[in-house]
């Protein structure tokens, strides 16, 4: 168990594919994905890697399961404390 | 769950904010919906948190004081009857019953396929810019930008100011077209200033007109790009490539509501009312015109919706911004070479992995969809449909609900919203 | 001299299948389609190849047709997505289960394999189904496919044998000796076949064909797995026998991992707009059979217009008053299933030879008197 985050924290810590990432408040999940060393958001139908493309909720390349909700777009989702992000990459 | 309002504004970019402010200040009950977590749209993304843009700050402050209600993370998915929208919001959904609507859904980038464009690390020009604004670590990263128009410089400025190393800016337009366009900016004082500020920061970045990306290379992610620069080839190792060719309006919600479109823009009258009564369209939906057009038309539509008099100055401003939009469209039109970059195995549809070769024998978009699955995936053809229109001149099909993938449960119409009784078996 | 032995008007799956059969017999064929091959009603259906036993004539045609599809299957490209998944007719209560026995007898008499699943066997076969169903009828040789590519495959095969494919080509008028195109060109042929689905009455006024609208929804990839085409036996009660709009549970697994959901029927509705309230009824019905459906991602919803006849059987054969005109239309929701059999029946009649099944129940003469007037349907 992690300590509860202090009020008005300037950073949040989330887990992307099991890996802890600490980012400034306001960072989008798609941006945080780049901090995991793998900018891969999904595998295409042949298993090749894909990453975010449009950044604006248009291309659907950056979909992931976020806190149990499937098919959420990472580029439209702000990082939150204790958030769990799972991609199918 | 449901919402009732006098005016629903779809999109919280500059156009939507201006409409919402004007209407709410005149006493209307205004509800603003946007898929993003904060108001500001793409152009003012992040300004609500860490504003440095004074114009954005002014409008965002005015918006929060206007009395308009804002629902972030809200995506319009269906319009089951006139005056009703179905909206998905995170894991839930709701219906909106509205008196009037202002559509301010903005624009997206035009992507054109080239070998390697599906590699992670290849993004749009503005796509990369917004991710950097949203916190993508770019310090010390090598970036190549390829595209057209003012967006290239805006992206370069953002990347530069966040510590990224912009290796090259490739502007596809010809020198003549580009500098002709730049000279026209003298008539647009606000834009000229923006342009000058951007250029001052970027003097050291190699930039060329008549230049474009021909291929992206890498194994698991982008490692290098090939550029065509005035007829010679450049090979640059880099971490990110931003490549897109101007903007196209997001017409899906307008077409879902059966608004007439023509030449890629929503048809409106001088009150910015579409062919569907009580539904207005503003900003990029009228043809790509940038922030100035969005603000002017947003204010106009907000005043009309609230049945307020429209100041003459605002009407004049609208005609001025239209001139800029027309010049931009000519400048940003992709050159012929860009339409021939994809090879037979380059994917055109990224959702269904449809390569160019699969389109052999297809005569139109419907054939390409039904025979080869082009545009049949998650983005509903938003990316490849625009590309196919640019490459082959194929125009789109009807927009049907859901106009974005949505949970089946979100297509339910709450019983207290419907104006006509449902027949239950 | 006619340019063609036969011109087929309408490049849906029925017209395309007929072009395939006739060209294989050495008949010179032109296939004329106003838009694109297989992109009208053909592309709006589920692509369920199903033996149906509402009446003997329907069972004879559907059973034969499904068997013909099975024979063709090995020669079809992978993109046709032919999948012999079989049909499960779901019984929600004892009354419906009782109907299963009668259906088994019907099917077996027609040479169609069919078996009864009790509740335990049903849930072993389809664990995703909601609890409480009492059993099912399994028709293992039913199948599904992707109709637009199937139609295109037929058309391209015909073309490879020398048939002329004319797409984007509107027909203005059918006449003895050929058809007049909208561009003024006359296409001469000894025989004209009208296979234009819901558009058929526009070219041959008086045909008893009216549109019956249906809705379908497809999910994104990664939907929960079902293994058969699932249809509620209540379908027979809810979808037939009423004049108003009706819905029934009908779900199909696609080879893409998507789930295709139906169905609705709106007699006489010729519009293409999605009817949000009827869609909601359809989805609510489906959710009774597939729990968790509300959480699945809907990708697209669309409608199609089925060409319905008063007795639910197609019009296959000569026009009683116009010996040069042949009809292959009015298939309602069974056009994909019976395209193979319909094509063979019409081809056999055109070539003056006997068919495997009796062609008389589908004869247009049951509605159209020799004087050209519609006759009352008994």
Q: Give the pLDDT confidence score for residue B2 in this predicted structure.
A: 87
Closest to A70 (Cα-Cα) out of A84, A54, A81, A52: A84
Q: Tell me whether residues A26 and B50 touch, CB distance under 8 A.
A: yes
Q: How far is C85 from B309, CA to CA, in rounded Å?
A: 65
Q: Tell me whether residues A28 and B220 touch, CB distance under 8 A.
A: no
- Mean pLDDT, to the nearest integer, of C117-137? 97
Q: Give the pLDDT confidence score for residue B204 in this predicted structure.
A: 78
- What is the chain B residue with the closest CA to C276? B80
Of residues B331 and C108, which shows the higher confidence score? C108
Closest to B293 (Cα-Cα) out of B321, B327, B329: B321
Q: Tell me whether residues B407 and C295 touch, CB distance under 8 A.
A: yes
Q: If you search the block for the tokens 């190549």, which residue do you land on?
A: B144
End-to-end alpha carbon distance in chain B: 23
CB-closest option in A31, A41, A63 to B136: A31
Q: How far is A78 from A29, CA to CA, in rounded Å?
A: 6
Report the complex ipTM.
0.94
CB-closest option in A35, A48, A76 to B35: A76
Q: Which of B25-39, B49-63, C17-31, C155-169 is least confident?
A: B49-63
Q: Tell me whether residues C149 and B370 touch, CB distance under 8 A.
A: yes
Q: Tell me whether residues C280 and B411 touch, CB distance under 8 A.
A: yes
Mutate to test the interface with A, among B35, B92, B122, B134 (most CBs of A within 10 A): B134
Q: How far is B93 from B2, CA to CA, in rounded Å?
A: 9
Question: Would you place residue C206 in the very low, low, confident or very high pLDDT band (cuts 50, 70, 90)?
Answer: very high
Question: Would you place residue B189 in the very low, low, confident or very high pLDDT band (cuts 50, 70, 90)?
Answer: very low
Q: How far is B7 from B305, CA to CA, in rounded Å?
A: 7
Q: How far is B96 from B111, CA to CA, in rounded Å?
A: 33
The DSSP call for residue A11 is: E
Angle made by CA atoms C211, C213, C214, in degrees to the nearest 5: 145
Dig out the tokens for B157 from the structure: 């400025």
Give all chains having 3 or more CB-to-CB distances under 8 Å with chain A: B, C
Q: Which residues of B fall within a CB distance of 8 Å from A51? A: 119-123, 221
CB C203 within 8 A of CB C9: yes
Q: Give the pLDDT confidence score for residue A76 in this predicted structure.
A: 96
Q: Tell me whether residues C293 and B408 touch, CB distance under 8 A.
A: yes
Q: What is the mean pLDDT of chain C?
A: 94
Closest to C214 (Cα-Cα) out of C109, C301, C100: C301
Angle between helices B125-133 and B150-161 (to 10 degrees): 30
Q: Which residues of C fall within a CB distance of 8 Å from B380? A: 299-300
Q: Give the DSSP per-residue string, C236-272.
A: HHHTSS-SS-EEEEEEEE-TTS-EEEEEEEEET----
- What is the chain C residue with the closest CA to B397? C302
- What is the chain B residue with the closest CA to A39? B120
Angle between helices B290-305 and B189-201 (to 10 degrees): 140
Q: Give the DSSP per-residue string, B157-178.
A: HHHHHTT-EEEEEEE-S-HHHH
Q: How far is C69 from C50, CA to CA, in rounded Å?
A: 11
Q: How far is B18 from B46, CA to CA, in rounded Å?
A: 18
Q: Which residues of C fall within a CB distance of 8 Å from B354? A: none
Per the DSSP assignment, residues forming a β-bridge with B349 are B354
CB-closest option in C43, C245, C294 to B409: C294
Cα separation values, B211 from B335, B395, C233, Å: 10, 28, 64
B189: CB partners within 8 A, 6+ apart: none
Question: Would you place residue B414 in the very low, low, confident or very high pLDDT band (cuts 50, 70, 90)?
Answer: confident
Distance from CA of B55 to the nearest CA of A (A): 21
Dig out the tokens for A66 from the structure: 């976020």
Cα separation values, B96 from B23, B31, B32, B401, C94, Å: 17, 9, 11, 15, 43
Q: How far is B128 from B126, CA to CA, in rounded Å?
A: 5
> What percent of chain C is modeled with pLDDT above 70?
95
C378: CB partners within 8 A, 6+ apart: none
Cα separation values, B246 from B1, C296, C373, Å: 39, 35, 61
Pairing between β-strand A63-66 and β-strand A69-73 as defined by DSSP bridges:
antiparallel
Q: Which residues of B fall within a CB distance of 8 Å from A40? A: 120, 220-221
Q: Which residues of A fall within a CB distance of 8 Å from C220? A: 71
- Mean pLDDT, to the nearest integer, of C222-248? 78
Question: Would you place residue B418 in the very low, low, confident or very high pLDDT band (cuts 50, 70, 90)?
Answer: low
Q: Which residues of C fall within a CB distance of 8 Å from A70? A: 297
Q: CB-based contact (8 Å) between B78 and chain C?
A: yes
Dig out the tokens for A58 from the structure: 């248009």
Q: Tell me whether residues B123 and A27 touch, CB distance under 8 A.
A: no
CB B162 within 8 A of CB B141: no
Q: Tell me whether residues B370 and C238 touch, CB distance under 8 A.
A: no
Residue B186 reports pLDDT greater than 60: no
Q: What is the pLDDT of residues B119-161, one digit of tens each?
A: 999 999 999 999 999 999 999 999 999 999 889 989 999 999 9
- Mean pLDDT, to the nearest integer, of C363-376? 73
Q: How far is B390 from B83, CA to CA, in rounded Å?
A: 34
Dig out the tokens for C224 from the structure: 């929960």
Q: Tell me whether residues A59 and B136 touch, CB distance under 8 A.
A: no
Question: Would you place residue B420 in the very low, low, confident or very high pLDDT band (cuts 50, 70, 90)?
Answer: very low
Q: What is the pLDDT of residues C30-48, one digit of tens each?
A: 999 999 999 999 999 999 9
Distance from CA of A29 to the nearest CA of B (A): 9
Q: Tell me whether residues C277 and B408 touch, CB distance under 8 A.
A: no
> What percent of chain B is modeled with pLDDT above 70?
92
Q: What is the pLDDT of residues B291-316, one digit of tens each?
A: 999 999 999 999 999 999 989 898 88
Angle between helices B189-201 and B150-161 (to 10 degrees): 50
Q: If you search the block for the tokens 């004209």, which residue do you land on?
A: C192
The DSSP call for residue B364 is: S
Q: How far is C111 from B353, CA to CA, in rounded Å?
A: 42
Per the DSSP assignment, residues forming a β-bridge with C137 are C89, C116
Q: What is the pTM of this model?
A: 0.93
Q: How far is C42 from C334, CA to CA, in rounded Å?
A: 10
CB B370 within 8 A of CB C148: yes
User: Could you tell me the sign of the dihedral formed by the alpha carbons of A22, A25, A28, A29, in that order?
Assistant: positive
- What is the chain A residue with the closest CA to B403? A58
For chain C, give the number of residues.
378
Cα Rg of chain C, angstroms: 20
Question: Would you place residue C238 in the very low, low, confident or very high pLDDT band (cuts 50, 70, 90)?
Answer: low
- Mean pLDDT, to the nearest integer, of B334-356? 97
Per the DSSP assignment, residues forming a β-bridge with B2 are B95
How many Cα neighbours within 13 Å face the side chain of B343?
7
- What is the chain A residue with the closest CA to C221? A45
Q: CB-based contact (8 Å) between C241 and chain B?
A: no
Q: How far is B242 from B256, CA to CA, in rounded Å?
A: 31
- Mean pLDDT, to the nearest integer, of C279-292? 94
Residue C344 reports pLDDT greater than 60: yes
> Quick check: helix, strand or coil at residue C1?
coil
Distance from CA of B184 to the nearest CA of C (A): 44
Cα Rg of chain A, angstroms: 13
Q: What is the mean pLDDT of chain B?
A: 91
Q: Give the pLDDT confidence score for residue B424 in this predicted structure.
A: 36
Q: Which residues of C fall within a CB distance of 8 Å from A71? A: 220, 297
- What is the chain B residue with the closest CA to C150? B371
- Name the H helices within B141-233: 150-161, 175-184, 189-201
- Mean pLDDT, to the nearest integer, of B399-415? 91
Dig out the tokens for C135 from the structure: 């059993």
> Quick check: helix, strand or coil at residue B40?
coil
Angle between helices C13-24 and C335-350 (to 10 degrees): 40
Q: How far is B265 from B282, CA to CA, in rounded Å?
A: 10
Q: Give the pLDDT confidence score for residue B190 in this predicted structure.
A: 52
CB C134 within 8 A of CB C4: no
Distance from CA of A2 to the nearest CA of B (A): 24
Of residues B51 and B364, which shows the higher confidence score? B364
Q: Give the pLDDT confidence score for residue C375 in this predicted structure.
A: 52
Cα separation values, B424 from B197, C266, C306, Å: 63, 15, 24
> What percent of chain C is modeled with pLDDT above 90?
91
Distance from CA of B9 to the nearest CA of A (A): 18
- Mean pLDDT, to the nearest integer, of C291-314? 96
Distance from CA of B207 to the nearest CA of C (A): 42
Q: What is the pLDDT of residues C218-230, one digit of tens each?
A: 999 988 789 999 9
Q: What is the pLDDT of residues A46-84, one digit of tens each?
A: 999 999 999 999 999 999 999 999 999 999 999 999 999
Q: What is the pLDDT of residues C262-274, one digit of tens each?
A: 999 999 888 999 9
Q: How far is C64 from C71, CA to CA, in rounded Å?
A: 11
């Amino acid at each position: 168990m992690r300590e509860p985050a202090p009020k008005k924290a300037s950073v949040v810590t989330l887990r992307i594919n099991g890996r802890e990432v600490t980012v400034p408040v306001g960072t989008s999940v798609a941006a945080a994905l780049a901090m995991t060393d793998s900018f891969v958001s999904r595998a295409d139908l042949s298993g090749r890697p894909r990453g975010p493309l449009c950044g604006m909720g248009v291309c659907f390349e950056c979909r992931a399961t976020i806190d149990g909700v499937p098919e959420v777009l990472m580029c439209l989702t702000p990082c939150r404390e204790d958030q769990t992000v799972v991609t199918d990459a | 769950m449901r919402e009732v309002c006098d005016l629903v504004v779809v999109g919280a970019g500059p156009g939507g904010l201006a409409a919402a402010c004007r209407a709410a200040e005149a006493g209307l009950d205004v509800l603003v919906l946007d898929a993003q977590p904060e108001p500001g749209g793409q152009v003012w993304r992040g300004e609500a948190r860490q504003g440095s843009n004074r114009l954005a700050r002014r409008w965002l402050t005015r918006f929060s004081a206007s009395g308009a209600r804002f629902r972030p993370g809200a995506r319009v998915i269906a319009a089951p009857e006139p005056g009703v929208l179905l909206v998905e919001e995170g894991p839930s959904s709701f219906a909106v019953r509205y008196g009037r609507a202002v559509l301010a859904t903005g624009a997206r980038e035009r992507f054109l396929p080239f070998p390697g464009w599906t590699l992670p690390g290849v993004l749009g020009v503005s796509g990369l810019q917004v991710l950097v604004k949203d916190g993508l670590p770019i310090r010390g990263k090598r970036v190549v930008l390829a595209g057209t128009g003012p967006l290239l410089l805006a992206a370069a400025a953002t990347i530069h100011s966040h510590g990224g190393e912009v290796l090259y800016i490739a502007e596809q337009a010809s020198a003549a077209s580009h500098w002709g366009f730049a000279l026209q900016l003298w008539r647009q004082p606000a834009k000229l200033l923006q342009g000058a500020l951007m250029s001052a920061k970027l003097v050291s970045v190699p930039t060329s007109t008549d230049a474009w990306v021909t291929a992206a290379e890498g194994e698991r992610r982008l490692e290098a790009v090939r550029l065509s620069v005035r007829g010679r080839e450049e090979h640059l190792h880099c971490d990110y490539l931003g490549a897109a060719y101007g903007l196209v309006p997001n017409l899906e919600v307008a077409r879902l509501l059966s608004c007439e479109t023509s030449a890629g823009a929503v048809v409106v009258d001088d009150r910015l009312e579409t062919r569907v009564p009580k539904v207005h369209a503003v900003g990029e939906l009228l043809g790509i015109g940038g922030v100035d057009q969005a603000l002017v038309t947003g204010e106009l539509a907000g005043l009309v919706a609230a049945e307020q008099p429209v100041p003459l100055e605002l009407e004049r401003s609208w005609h001025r911004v239209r001139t800029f939009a027309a010049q931009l469209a000519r400048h940003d039109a992709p050159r012929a070479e860009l339409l021939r970059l994809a090879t037979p195995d380059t994917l055109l549809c990224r959702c269904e992995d449809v390569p160019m070769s699969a389109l052999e024998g297809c005569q139109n978009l419907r054939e390409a969809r039904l025979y080869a699955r082009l545009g049949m995936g998650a983005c509903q053809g938003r990316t490849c449909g625009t590309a196919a229109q640019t490459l082959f001149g194929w125009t789109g099909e009807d927009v049907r609900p859901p106009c974005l993938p949505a949970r089946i449960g979100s297509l339910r119409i709450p019983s207290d919203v419907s104006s006509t009784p449902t027949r239950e078996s | 001299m006619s340019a063609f032995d036969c011109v087929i008007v309408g490049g849906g799956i029925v017209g395309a299948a007929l072009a395939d059969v006739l060209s294989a017999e050495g008949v010179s064929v032109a296939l004329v389609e106003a838009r694109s091959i297989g992109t009208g009603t053909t592309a709006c259906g589920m692509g369920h190849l199903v033996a149906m036993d509402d009446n003997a004539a329907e069972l004879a045609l559907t059973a034969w047709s499904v068997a013909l599809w099975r024979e063709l299957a090995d020669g079809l490209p992978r993109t046709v997505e032919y999948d012999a998944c079989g049909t499960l007719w779901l019984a929600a209560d004892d009354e419906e289960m009782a109907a299963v026995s009668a259906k088994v007898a019907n099917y077996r008499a027609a040479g169609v394999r069919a078996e009864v699943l009790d509740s335990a066997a049903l849930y072993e076969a389809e664990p995703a189904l909601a609890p409480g169903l009492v059993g099912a009828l399994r028709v293992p040789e039913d199948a599904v496919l992707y109709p637009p590519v199937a139609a295109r495959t037929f058309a391209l095969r015909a073309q490879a044998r020398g048939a002329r494919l004319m797409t984007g080509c509107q027909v203005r008028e059918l006449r003895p000796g050929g058809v007049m195109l909208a561009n003024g060109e006359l296409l001469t042929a000894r025989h004209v076949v009208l296979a234009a689905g819901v558009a058929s009455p526009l070219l041959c006024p008086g045909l008893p064909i009216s549109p019956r609208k249906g809705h379908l929804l497809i999910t994104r990839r990664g939907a929960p797995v079902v293994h058969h085409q699932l249809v509620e036996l209540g379908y027979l009660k809810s979808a037939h026998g009423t004049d108003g709009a009706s819905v029934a549970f009908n779900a199909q697994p696609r080879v893409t991992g998507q789930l295709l959901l139906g169905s609705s029927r709106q007699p006489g509705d010729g519009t293409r707009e999605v009817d949000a309230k009827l869609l909601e009824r359809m989805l609510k019905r489906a959710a009774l059979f597939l729990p968790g459906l509300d959480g699945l991602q809907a990708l697209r919803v669309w409608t199609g217009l089925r060409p319905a006849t008063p007795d639910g059987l197609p019009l296959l054969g000569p026009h009683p008053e116009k010996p040069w005109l042949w009809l292959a239309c009015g298939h309602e929701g069974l056009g994909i299933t019976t395209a193979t059999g319909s094509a063979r029946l019409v081809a056999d009649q055109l070539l003056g030879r006997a068919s495997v099944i009796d062609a008389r129940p589908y004869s247009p003469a049951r509605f159209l008197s020799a004087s050209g007037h519609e006759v009352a349907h008994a």
